[in-house]
């Protein structure tokens, strides 16, 4: 069985791809799936492109075409929790698609049809294992990661996510990937490094630093898994 690893941007999978051995490529639809070994673990690595729809399609194709043990989502995110500084690690205990808004029909904000929940939980064993590795420097927390097709800058949205969902970070893919995993009964966890607190300038400035942190965690996790 394979460990699936998804990153939205080329930069989010670049270091992992550079370490991947015995590489084979399989192009399915618009996505290139890189099959190989990381620390003797069978891995399928893929760039999903940004956004919820791209992430969802990429995940479904990954599950349908490979024998997947579990899926990890890696990359950067915007920080919401005051406990996370730039470079800190957010590990998803659950996710929410906060742009799912059918409140006019009587549903709660973020309600996910098909799963019939607002908060979609991640695999507890994966979450604990990754947290134990990530928190060696005391800069990791677990919690809800919120996703939408928007780069969130404004403080009002961040306060809503914190108050409504107790979210710790926000991005554009994690919840969509978890949505697909839940429907397919595939275990999932996301590891996101905080690259910004809602500023495009911060995002560009600290992107590589955040990605270095993520890749270090992934390498240590695979060695211990």
DSSP assignment string, 122-152: PPHHHHHHHHHHHGGGS-EEEEEEEE-SS--
Q: Could you give the dihedral angle defined by the CA atoms of residues 167, 113, 148 and 168, in that order, rounded to the nearest 10 degrees?
A: 10
Active site residue 132: no
Place of tokens 């590990």: 91
Catalytic residue among 67, 116, 196, 202: 196
Cβ atoms 169, 194 nearer than 8 A: yes
Catalytic residue among 12, 97, 171, 173: 12
Active site residue 137: no
DSSP annotation of 107: P
Distance CA 118, CA 120 (A): 6
Task: Report the b/e string of 46-78 with b at 16+ CB within 10 A.
Answer: bbbbbbbebbbbbbbbbbeebebebbbbbbbbb
Beta-ladder partners of 70: 3, 187
Residues tagged active-site: 12, 196
């Amino acid at each position: 069985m394979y460990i699936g690893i998804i990153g939205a941007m080329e930069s989010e999978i670049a270091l992992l791809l550079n370490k991947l051995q015995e590489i084979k490529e399989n192009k399915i639809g618009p996505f290139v799936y890189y099959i190989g070994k990381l620390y003797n673990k069978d891995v399928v690595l893929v760039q999903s492109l940004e956004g919820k729809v791209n992430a969802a399609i990429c995940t479904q194709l990954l599950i349908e075409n490979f024998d997947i043990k579990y899926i990890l989502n890696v990359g950067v995110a915007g920080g919401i929790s005051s406990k996370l500084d730039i470079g800190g690690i957010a590990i998803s205990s659950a996710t929410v698609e906060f742009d799912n808004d059918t409140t006019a029909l009587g549903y709660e904000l973020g309600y996910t049809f098909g799963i019939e929940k607002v908060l979609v939980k991640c695999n507890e064993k994966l979450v604990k294992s990754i947290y134990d590795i990530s928190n060696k420097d005391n800069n990791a927390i677990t919690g809800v990661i919120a996703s939408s097709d928007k780069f969130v800058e404004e403080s009002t949205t961040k306060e809503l996510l914190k108050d409504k969902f107790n979210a710790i970070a926000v991005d554009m893919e994690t919840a969509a990937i978890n949505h697909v995993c839940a429907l397919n009964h595939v275990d999932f966890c996301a590891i996101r490094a905080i690259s910004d607190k809602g500023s495009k300038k911060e995002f560009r400035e600290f992107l590589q630093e955040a990605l270095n942190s993520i890749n270090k965690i992934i390498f240590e996790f695979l060695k211990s898994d």
